[in-house]
Structure 1
Amino acid sequence: MGFLLRWLGAFLLLAAIFNPTSWNYVAWARNEWGSQTPLIVFLGLILAVLAMVYLVATMRSIGILGAIIIAAIFAAGLWVLTDWGLLGLDNSALNTWLGILVLSLILGIGMSWSILRQRLSGQQTTDEVDS
């Protein structure tokens, strides 16, 4: 259940920032820049901090190589689905949602990695602190 909540949080965050509909931060900020500039900046900073929390935690737990490997696994899975004819990549909106899904799964895995590793190995994960 914990992983699902972390993944859902990442998915909702990424979809709030950008998605193929007109209901997202980027589209709203473009359309309302002149009349809502302070609110756009305020909400943009909040979204940036939330995204940074996910990104920093992911990079600390799985690193850039882990993120690349996870992305490659999902890309290979999409390639298989496309090769089998189950998925067509000619729909740009679908491609955007798939990108959001894959990125959110990477962030969700990154946020959950230390918990999963602890359960599999039985070893605690701690941050190194310089004294």
Structure 2
Amino acid sequence: MSFLLRWLFAFLLLAATWNPTVWNWTRAAQVHWNDVPSIITLTGLLLVAGYVIYLRATVRSIGLGGAVFILAFFAALLWVATDFGLISLTDPGLLAWLGLFAGSLVLGIGMSWSIIRRAISGQVDTDDVEE
């Protein structure tokens, strides 16, 4: 359950920043900057804080190589799904949502990797402590 919540928050973070609909921060910032710049700035800073938390945890736990592997695995799944005619990648909106899903998987797995690794291997990750 904890992984699902971390993944869901990552998906909401990415989708709130940008998605192919008109309901996203990027569109709101473009349209409403002159009306409510303080709200746009505040919500933008909240999004940045979410990204800092997720990206820092992801880089520390799975690194760039792990993120690339997760994206490659997701791309291979899409390739198989298109080869078998399960999905068509001609719709730009679908491609955008799949990109958001893939990105949220990277962030969700990165945020949860220490817990997943401990459950699988019994090994515990610790932070570096400088003295």
Per the shorter chain, which TM-score range? Answer: over 0.9
Q: Counterpart of 1:102?
A: 102
> How far apart in 2 are the matches of 1:62 and 1:47?
22
Gaps of 5+ in 1: none
> What fraction of aligned residue pairs are identical, expressed as a percent?
53
Q: CA deviation at 1:124?
A: 1.5
State the 4+ residue runs in structure 1 displaced beyond 6 angstroms: none
Matched, 1:65 2:62: no
Q: Counterpart of 1:20?
A: 20
Residue-pair matches, total:
131
> How far apart in 2 are the matches of 1:123 and 1:32?
49
Q: CA deviation at 1:122?
A: 1.0
Q: Which amino acid aligns with 1:15?
A: A
Q: CA RMSD in A?
A: 0.8
Q: Deviations over 1:84-110 (max 9, x none)?
A: 111111111111100000100111100
The two structures have a TM-score, normalised by structure 1, of 0.97
Q: CA deviation at 1:42?
A: 1.3
The two structures have a TM-score, normalised by structure 2, of 0.97
